[in-house]
Structure 1
Amino acid sequence: MQLEHKNNVSPVLQDGIKNYLIDIDGTITEDVPNEQPERMASCAPFPDALETINKWYNEGHQICFFTSRTEEHREVTTQWLNRHGFKYHSILFGKPRGGNYHWIDNHLVKATRYNGKFTELVEKEVVIQVFKD
């Protein structure tokens, strides 16, 4: 693992290592709502997602799935990820449902909206909101 611990505080990633937080439903597989948990075990992964995420993992990046699925779906979710061969370090459950996220943090946060296919990430200039000086 590419983490460095300093004085028992949360780990710091080494230079060049990214920390990917990746949604599950609608991003790496079909959009399965929590109200239909029976579909969680049988949905198929998007092949480009599996290939890309495992490539990032093999390159040493941190992979954390961040999902709106609840803790009661932990077992079916981990079994599904493992059965399909996804490589990852952790899963966070209970992400707020919906969208229109506005993440505020003391660290730089980069966001990439999934729009149907995992491809190479490219740099693009966009307008963002920041706090007024």
Structure 2
Amino acid sequence: MQLEHKDNVSPVLKDGIKNYLIDIDGTITDDIPNEEPERMATCLPFPDALETINKWYDEGHIICFFTSRTEAHREVTEQWLQKHGFRYHSILMGKPRGGNYHWIDNHLVKATRYNGKFTDLVDKEVVIQVFKD
């Protein structure tokens, strides 16, 4: 893993290494609601998602799945990821449902909205919200 740990201090990402937070339902597989957990074990991954995420992992990037699935769904989720060969470092469960996420941090944060296919990421100029001076 491309992290440096020192005496119970948060790890430091090495230069060029990204920390990816990736949704599960509707992003790497079908959009399965928590109300239908029986589908979580049998859905199939999007092939381009599996290939791309594992490529990022192999390049040394940090992969964290950030999902609206609840802690009650952790076991089926971990088994599904393992069954299909996803390589990752961690999973954060219980992300609020909805689509109006806004991350505030003292570090540069980049966001990419999944729009049907995992491909290489490219730079694009867009309008963003910032704090008023």
Could you tell me the TM-score, scaled by structure 1's length?
0.97
Matched, 1:63 2:63: yes
Q: Distance in 2 between matches of 1:2 and 1:122?
A: 23
Are residue 8 (structure 1) and residue 8 (structure 2) matched?
yes
Name the structure 2 match of 1:94. 94
Aligned length: 133
Q: Secondary structure at the match of 2:105?
A: coil
Distance 1:13 1:102 in 2: 22
Runs of 4 or more, structure 1, over 3 Å off, are: none
Rounded Cα–Cα distance in structure 2 between residues aligned with 1:25 and 1:77: 10
Structure 1 segments unaligned to the other structure (5+ residues): none
Task: Pick which of 4-13 and 16-25 moved more.
Answer: 4-13
Residue 38 (structure 2) pairs with residue 54 (structure 1): no
Q: Pairwise mapping of residues 105-124 of structure 1 onto structure 2 (< 5 A)?
A: 105-124=105-124
Distance in 2 between residues matched to 1:21 and 1:114, nearest whole Å: 12
Distance 2:34 2:107 in 1: 31
What fraction of aligned residue pairs are identical, expressed as a percent?
87
Q: Distance in 1 between matches of 2:106 and 2:32?
A: 32
2:29 corresponds to 1:29: yes
Which whole-Å CA distance do the structure 2 matches of 1:51 and 1:5 have between them? 29
Corresponding letter in the other structure for 1:29: T
Structure 1 residue aligned with 2:84: 84
- Which consecutive residues of structure 2, in runs of 5 or more, have no partner in the other structure? none
Q: How big is the alpha-carbon RMSD for the aligned residues of Structure 1 and Structure 2?
A: 0.8
**Which residue identity lines up with residue 99 of structure 2 in the other structure?**
G
